[in-house]
Amino acid sequence: MNIAKLKPVLDALLRGLAKIKRGILAVEARVMRLARWTGRHVMTLLRRLGPALARAIDGCAGPVSNAFAAIGRRGRAGFVWFRPRFMRFWIWIAPLRRVLAGALAWLLDKFCQFGGLTEKEACVMRDAIGSDDQDALWRTRTRVDVGMWYRKGRVWVCPLADELLLFAEGPRPWVEHIAYSHVRESRYNHVTAEIALAPETDLPLSSLRVRPLEALPLIRQFRRASSMP
């Protein structure tokens, strides 16, 4: 490549960059002059408006205070008139309040699963163990993905004779059979309110969220069943 031929191109490029630099500096100078002019006039306007605003606020303080006092007196008088009537109305709608409370509890149980074992969850357990025979059943606060977009399914713990059954109901039911030897060293963490499943580390769940009074018999069941021949 002939370097001599590139020299005119480089010179033109340098002249173009110089023009761009001068243009940027000119715009910057105009912006600075506009900012100084605007700031000077804004400060002048604020100095002139300050006393006028102070006089307006001082003049309105009395009427505004009197207006709020009048509103307060009217409000207290209205409350004295309204309270006994509201209490009579509140007692009158007691049956309706009971119905609404029951409906709200049903909705919460449907969407948040606060209640006991539902029929669908019983079907999942029945399919997992082949019958309805089970000695104990614990509801946990642990949730797993079962194919629902608005919530996860709660995990139930069902200790069987030779293994531990974990299941959750949903469009894609979640069922796990775990040998007691895999959870014989489980411990309860009082800080997180969880049973840390051990010694096996490849379990589908690493912990179960249960209450302390429910965790103790469950851990005893793990150890007693794992020690049996």
The angle subtended at Cα 168 by Cα 216 and Cα 124, nearest 5°, is 110
Give SS3 for 217. Answer: helix
pLDDT tens, the chain, 229 aa long: 566 667 777 778 888 888 888 888 888 888 888 888 888 888 887 777 777 777 777 777 777 777 777 777 776 776 677 778 878 888 888 889 888 888 887 677 656 666 678 888 889 999 998 877 777 888 898 999 998 887 788 999 999 888 999 999 989 999 999 999 899 899 999 888 899 998 888 888 999 999 888 898 889 888 887 776 6
pLDDT at 4: 67
Angstrom CA distances, 64 to 59, 60, 61, 69, 72, stand at: 9, 6, 5, 9, 12
Half-sphere exposure at residue 82, Cβ-oriented, CA atoms within 13 angstroms: 6
Domain residue spans in the chain? Answer: 1-92, 114-227
Segments of the chain assigned E as strands: 138-144, 153-159, 163-168, 174-179, 187-189, 194-196, 207-209
Residue that has been written with the tokens 């149980």 in this structure: 109
Which residues does 148 contact at the CB level (< 8 Å), separation at least 6? 170, 171
CATH of domain 114-227: 2.30.29.30
- The shares of helix, strand and coil residues in the chain, as percent rounded to the nearest 5, are 60, 15, 25
